[in-house]
Structure 1
Amino acid sequence: MPRKTPNRRRLFAGLATLIIVLVIVGGFALSGLADFDLEGRATRLVEFDDHGNRLSGTLILPDGAAANTAPIVLLIHGDGPQDRFSHDGYLPLINSLLDGGIGVYSWDKAGIGNSTGNWLDQSMNDRANEAMAAFAALRNLDGNQNRKIGFLGFSQAGWVIPDIANRLPDAAFHILVGAAVNWQRQGTYYMRTRLEALGTRPDEIAMRIETAHNMDNRIFGPDSTYQDYLAIPHNQEVMAQDRYEFVKRNIGSDATGSLETLTSPLLALWGEDDLNVDPAHNAAIYRKLALPNNPLNRVIVVPDATHGLLRSQLFNYQLADQMPDIVKLAFVVMGRHAYAPGAIDHIITWIKQVTQIP
């Protein structure tokens, strides 16, 4: 019997994925579309200043009487040029939080949407300072002086929120999704999973990772310049200078020191099938360093979930723009149901427990 070629295996795998997507799309029958709509929600423009930048965001509160006392979550973006709703990708999560009686505030990154500046000019410490300025802006709104306000951040926020938690005792809680811990180790994991997906041999993966480490030391060292970076041979897209400077500024980021001293309530979640950060390794660090610091702390690895806690069977891609159009359509149709079972419930239930709302 002839063996299936790799191309045929990929074709069969693609067809199987397409069939699964179509079945789910039909089953949900457009019910998730409402999760991308904020019409009828109580929204308010909230702008604030930080280090010469004017940041613009939207505060959304739950319906009815709950709006007056609801806790508020400030969303902290991961990497990339994200607007306040992450190109609408946050909306199913936001609507889920609102339905759970929890308000949400999110703002455009510096230089994105209606915010001034350039987010690539920031260090992780700068991002923490900006988030604390957002917190202060919300606290100063009428009726918010005693409201429970906390943070929910993604991926790169793993270097932002632990810093905030150690410097802002007034924050009621902190939540991290797919948190990175060490910049260079995350880069290694990301590169390894990408090469494995391409079918690269283990010995070649090891060689390419070692080469990348040596190159990083050369081009992102304290005395290195953008001209040094441009002078090396490139087999992939060349970084713009502001991106180069951003990486150089932040490549030494490591959250372990902040995690050891973090005492305010913390919920940390990873998807079991995360392709961007190592979920088992990072969860183990959080269990060791942060979990004992507060009885409310929780560390959860969600089964069958991606970097962003979506269902990994359908949505496990390192970058959103790698998703085929049919998969993007499935996300729009499914809305909050695109998340792995229980993922959003973990977040809502824990916030209610910490803030003591019914």
Structure 2
Amino acid sequence: MKVNRGIRMWVGSAAVLALVAVGVIVVGNDYRYEQTAVRIPTANGELDGVLTTPPGVGARGVVIMVHGDAAVDATQGGLYSPWFEGAADAGFATLSWNKPGVGGSTGDWLAQTMDDRADEVSAVVDWALAQPGLPTDRIVLWGASQAGWVLPKVVAQREDIDAVVAVGTAINWLSQGRYNLLAELDHDGATDSERSHALAESDEIRGILERRAGYEDYLAVTTEESPMTRARWMFVAQNFDADATLDLRDAAEANIPVLLMAGERDRNVDMRETEIVYERVFGENLTVEHFDAVHSLARPVVDDNEFIGASVGIFWPRALLAAGVVDAYATFLRGVD
């Protein structure tokens, strides 16, 4: 039977393209580190985690990853890989874990206060210090977003933290929420009417929180298509009055280097406010790096365009973060004594 030459050529081309795509995926996800699973016992259960180390050589220190909000696993679905690689290139291991209730970790992250989260981080540090062969001569805390209310608590409570990397961290929970609301309204091109309604509803919900009212009161006023679950409401009710200012002042007494990494297009956190407070508190111990990036320090194009974001995430996840982010991170780690 004769086979149409055009079909034969199309099939051949498709096969070549498929092989190229597989090759790109393999190369794009071939990171310069080694990774092993770990199980970390704490007073409240056990945490599943991963330990990432430089390939073939000993590390000079360890980075402890402190997640932001949401049900985050140890690698954030692979999005932490560029951070792991940057640390490995700088000679650092990285220790990260699934939040309580995520994957094999026991517990419930939505039941935690920021103090609970700080205690959890401290327990992980203690575990790391007890592990033979784990490089704890230098301990660096890396934290993103919500971790801004956790990092300074840990530093203030301990004497063995050598540096901090703060990524898109906020100062005050309520002011951060208002900033995020206004930024999203601007981004979405909201009308004056939509803007007024959103602000009024936000104020009403804030009043419910401040009165310590219940979940039903919240449901009675919200117009969100997908309102908070009861568990999420309880999490917010426990933490909405968080403010990092006093903890930051206590942490500053440790006199350690702090790197603040800020996205110029951050719609979640007012990074100018954070920078002003950090500069006032940490002084010459603070290094600030700005990037053309969104809250996660991803490139704006991969955040705004779902197709581009998914494609980059699959084929070349190194390119998810804005230019210069990983280099600045690695350079800071190399300078940690």
Same fold (TM over 0.5): yes
Deviation at 1:225, TM superposition (A): 1.5
1:33-52 CA distances to partner (integer Å, 9 max, x unpaired)? 545356x8433332223342
3-state SS of the aligned residue for 2:159? Answer: coil
Q: Distance in 2 between matches of 1:35 and 1:149?
A: 29
Deviation at 1:120, TM superposition (A): 0.2
Residue 347 (structure 1) aligns with: 329
Counterpart amino acid of residue 117 in structure 1: G
3-state SS of the aligned residue for 2:336? Answer: helix
Q: Distance in 1 between matches of 2:327 and 2:295?
A: 17
Counterpart amino acid of residue 290 in structure 2: V
| Correspondence 1:272 to 2:272 | no
Q: Distance in 2 between matches of 1:249 and 1:46?
A: 30
Q: 1:128 aligns with which of 81, 95, 118?
A: 118
1:107-139 CA distances to partner (integer Å, 9 max, x unpaired)? 000000110111000001111110111111111
Q: Pairwise mapping of residues 47-62 of structure 1 onto structure 2 (< 5 A)? A: 47-62=39-54
Residue 93 (structure 1) aligns with: 83
Structure number with greater Rg is 2
Contiguous gaps of at least 5 residues in structure 1: 1-27, 318-322
Residue 15 (structure 1) aligns with: none
Q: Distance in 2 between matches of 1:287 and 1:97?
A: 25
Q: 2:212 aligns with which of 223, 226, 236?
A: 223
Q: Distance in 1 between matches of 2:247 and 2:44?
A: 27
Q: Distance in 1 between matches of 2:85 and 2:28?
A: 6
Counterpart amino acid of residue 119 in structure 2: N
Q: Distance in 2 between matches of 1:49 and 1:84?
A: 15
1:260-311 CA distances to partner (integer Å, 9 max, x unpaired)? 2223321111111111111222212211222x2xx44212222x11112122
TM-score, normalised with respect to structure 1: 0.81
Q: Distance in 1 between matches of 2:262 and 2:312?
A: 22
Q: Distance in 2 between matches of 1:353 and 1:50?
A: 31
| Correspondence 1:283 to 2:271 | no
Q: Alpha carbons of 1:104 and 1:254: their partners in 2 closer, same or farther (altered >3 Å)? A: same
Counterpart amino acid of residue 240 in structure 1: T
3-state SS of the aligned residue for 1:179? Answer: coil
Residue 330 (structure 1) aligns with: 312
Deviation at 1:96, TM superposition (A): 2.7
Counterpart amino acid of residue 322 in structure 2: A
Q: Alpha carbons of 1:41 and 1:51: their partners in 2 closer, same or farther (altered >3 Å)? A: same
8 Å contact from structure 1 (residues 274, 305) kept in 2: yes
User: Alignment identity in percent?
Assistant: 29
Contiguous gaps of at least 5 residues in structure 2: 1-20
TM-score, normalised with respect to structure 2: 0.85
1:56-88 CA distances to partner (integer Å, 9 max, x unpaired)? 1111110122x2x42111111111111101111
Q: Distance in 2 between matches of 1:146 and 1:332?
A: 33
Q: Distance in 1 between matches of 2:277 and 2:103?
A: 36
Q: Distance in 2 between matches of 1:269 and 1:177?
A: 5
| Correspondence 1:79 to 2:69 | yes
Q: Distance in 2 between matches of 1:153 and 1:163?
A: 12
8 Å contact from structure 1 (residues 76, 152) kept in 2: yes
Deviation at 1:182, TM superposition (A): 0.8
Residue 105 (structure 1) aligns with: 95
Residue 230 (structure 2) aligns with: 241
3-state SS of the aligned residue for 1:347? Answer: helix
Q: Alpha carbons of 1:187 and 1:118: their partners in 2 closer, same or farther (altered >3 Å)? A: same
Q: Alpha carbons of 1:185 and 1:223: their partners in 2 closer, same or farther (altered >3 Å)? A: closer
Q: Distance in 2 between matches of 1:202 and 1:160?
A: 37
8 Å contact from structure 1 (residues 50, 133) kept in 2: yes
Q: Alpha carbons of 1:259 and 1:202: their partners in 2 closer, same or farther (altered >3 Å)? A: farther
Q: Distance in 1 between matches of 2:56 and 2:26?
A: 22
Q: Pairwise mapping of residues 1-358 of structure 1 onto structure 2 (< 5 A)? A: 34=27, 36-37=29-30, 41-65=33-57, 67=58, 69-144=59-134, 147-201=137-191, 204-205=194-195, 208-218=198-208, 220-263=209-252, 264-290=256-282, 292=283, 295-302=284-291, 304-312=292-300, 314-317=301-304, 323-355=305-337
